[in-house]
């Protein structure tokens, strides 16, 4: 006699609950049966949302699963009584076709980016006005470099030496010759040590020696907006309207919240995926609560910095495992301040600051009346790593003390309102994926490579040459289309 169905179900549920509890290190709140759907999308950043929207539009049943208590991932806005502060993406670029089309459909309130105050400098122990930079003794740059302001060095220096002619073919065999350390490459091309040091201050890398020159060439070739008068720019403008950059009223999280209203199925929030079991004809995920879900395919958009601690069975091996385990992520940490007095009027220098201190940059943002309304102390790379060993309160106190020391007019004139570290965000663990020397050849081909067909990968780390939000959205669409081709 066969067993009554409830016994089989119950046994499955108990085994499922136990294994999840072991993996998650906690007991499941309640045992549930395995829910089935067509596609599970893991990660509710713009890549995951984009994949889910595309699949739903094709009539596919999709469940989006997000670990955090809100969607958005690296689109996160700190909302405080003193204002809203974008901690991740803040700007939509002129060639963001997919993002602009979601935004249009979801009626996202775009605004022009706030004016930014120029920077003053605290470099080589001197406090310098930008007008005096070129001739200042603090300026130890060489030749034509001397006339370039420190925060503007990286783009022209890399673009001057950028060998990429056609960004769609950035990793051709010939271009892979430039998959070498960025500092070495620039030095060989006559860039001074001081320029390299200053570029390191503002560069979104973990150090120029840890960065593939080819990767950074791709980054800048990809965001080099067609100039007015270029044929491609005319074609672009005709299709999209005049190219522009936009921020979102209320912050980038508002854009995500609006776009998420286009989803047909309610996303699951606040319950991280802790295990993925891949089978020949589908895959099952286990969440921290013990909930299990099965689908024909999974689109996983979780950054590899986090995916490496999710149990995948059978465990990947070889270059796919190496890519998941070793992908390098840059770090970014912000401390936000509100100016309580116009300290820039006291010392006669612009409100922004670039320094060779741990406090690398202070971006001074304007409100719509042109008044400096908030300051974003933005640290990348090793400076961010230094901050990341601190609590939020410690970060704010540390940043305030350093600023007041470098710039005495700030004493009693700035109020800290919050801090945010992407390295400390346990569901992202970094700002973005970056290629080390050699990774364009050895790791890049494996980033987007599916695992056993059914476990597929999207997210900014799997992108080609596109930039930022658009790249992440495009990667989600790529995997949605792959599902439709292969399994629908």
Q: Applying CB under 6 A, which residues contact ligand FAD? A: 42-48, 65-68, 73-75, 88-91, 93, 272-273, 301-303, 306, 310, 332, 422, 427-428, 431, 459-460, 468-469, 472
**Residue with smaller CB distance to ligand FAD, 128 or 419:** 419
Closest CA to 338 of 93, 150, 152, 85: 85
Contact call for residues 441 and 215 (beta carbons, < 8 A) = no
Site of tokens 């091996």: 317
Give the nearest distance from C-beta 388 to ligand FAD in angstroms: 14
Give the nearest distance from C-beta 191 to ligand FAD in angstroms: 26
Q: What is the rounded distance in angstroms from the CA atom of residue 481 to the CA atom of residue 433?
A: 23
Q: What is the rounded distance in angstroms from the CA atom of residue 349 to the CA atom of residue 278?
A: 59
**Residue with smaller CB distance to ligand FAD, 65 or 195:** 65
Give the nearest distance from C-beta 312 to ligand FAD in angstroms: 12
How many CA atoms are closer than 13 Å to the CA of 255, on its beta-carbon side? Answer: 32
Q: What is the rounded distance in angstroms from the CA atom of residue 148 to the CA atom of residue 170?
A: 27
Residue 133: CB atoms within 10 A of its CB come to 21
Contact call for residues 71 and 269 (beta carbons, < 8 A) = yes
Mark out the alpha helices in 147-268 (DSSP H runs): 154-160, 182-188, 193-202, 213-223, 231-240, 252-260
**Residue with smaller CB distance to ligand FAD, 212 or 431:** 431
Give the nearest distance from C-beta 440 to ligand FAD in angstroms: 18
Give the nearest distance from C-beta 344 to ligand FAD in angstroms: 25
**Residue with smaller CB distance to ligand FAD, 427 or 487:** 427
Closest CA to 488 of 65, 63, 35, 59: 59
Give the nearest distance from C-beta 377 to ligand FAD in angstroms: 13
Give the nearest distance from C-beta 469 to ligand FAD in angstroms: 4
Secondary structure letter of residue 210 according to DSSP: G
**Residue with smaller CB distance to ligand FAD, 60 or 64:** 64
Q: What is the rounded distance in angstroms from the CA atom of residue 88 to the CA atom of residue 334?
A: 10
**Residue with smaller CB distance to ligand FAD, 45 or 316:** 45
**Residue with smaller CB distance to ligand FAD, 16 or 88:** 88
């Amino acid at each position: 006699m066969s067993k009554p169905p409830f016994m089989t179900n119950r046994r499955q549920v108990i085994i499922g609950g136990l294994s999840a509890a072991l993996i998650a290190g906690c007991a499941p709140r309640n045992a549930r049966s395995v829910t089935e759907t067509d596609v599970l999308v893991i990660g509710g950043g713009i890549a995951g949302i984009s994949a889910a929207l595309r699949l739903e539009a094709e009539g596919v049943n999709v469940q989006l699963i997000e670990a955090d208590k809100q969607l958005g991932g690296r689109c996160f806005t700190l909302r405080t009584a003193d204002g809203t502060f974008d901690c991740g993406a803040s700007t939509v670029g002129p060639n963001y076709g997919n993002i602009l089309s979601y935004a249009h459909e979801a009626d996202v309130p775009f605004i022009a980016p706030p004016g930014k105050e120029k920077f003053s400098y605290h470099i080589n122990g001197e406090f310098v006005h930008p007008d005096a930079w070129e001739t200042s003794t603090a300026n130890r740059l060489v030749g034509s470099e001397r006339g370039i302001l420190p925060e503007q060095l990286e783009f022209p220096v890399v673009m001057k030496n950028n060998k990429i002619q056609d960004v769609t073919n950035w990793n051709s065999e010939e271009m892979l010759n430039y998959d070498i350390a960025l500092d070495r490459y620039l030095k060989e091309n006559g860039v001074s040590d001081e320029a390299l040091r200053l570029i390191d201050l503002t560069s979104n890398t973990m150090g120029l020696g840890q960065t593939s020159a080819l990767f950074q060439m791709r980054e800048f070739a990809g965001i080099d907006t067609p100039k007015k008068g270029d044929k491609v720019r005319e074609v672009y403008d005709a299709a999209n309207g005049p190219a522009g950059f936009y921020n979102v009223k209320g912050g980038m999280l508002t854009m995500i919240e609006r776009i998420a209203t286009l989803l047909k199925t309610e996303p699951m929030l606040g319950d991280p995926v802790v295990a993925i079991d891949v089978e020949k004809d589908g895959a099952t995920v286990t969440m921290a609560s013990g909930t299990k879900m099965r689908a024909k395919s999974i689109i996983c958009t979780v950054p590899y910095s986090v995916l490496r601690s999710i149990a995948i069975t059978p465990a990947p091996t070889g270059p796919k495992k190496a890519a998941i385990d070793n992908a390098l992520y840059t770090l970014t940490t912000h401390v936000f301040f509100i100016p309580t007095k116009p300290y820039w009027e006291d010392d006669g220098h612009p409100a922004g600051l670039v320094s060779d201190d741990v406090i690398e940059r202070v971006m001074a943002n304007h409100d719509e009346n042109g008044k400096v309304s908030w300051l974003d102390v933005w640290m990348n790379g090793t400076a961010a790593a230094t901050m990341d060993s601190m609590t939020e309160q410690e970060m704010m106190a540390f940043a305030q003390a350093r600023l007041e020391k470098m710039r005495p007019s700030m004493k009693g004139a700035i109020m800290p309102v919050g801090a945010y570290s992407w390295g400390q965000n346990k569901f992202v663990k970094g700002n973005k994926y970056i290629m080390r020397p050699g990774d364009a050849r050895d790791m890049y081909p494996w980033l987007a490579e599916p695992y056993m067909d059914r476990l597929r990968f999207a997210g900014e780390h799997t992108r080609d040459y596109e930039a930022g939000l658009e790249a992440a959205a495009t990667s989600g669409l790529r995997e949605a289309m792959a599902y439709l081709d292969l399994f629908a």
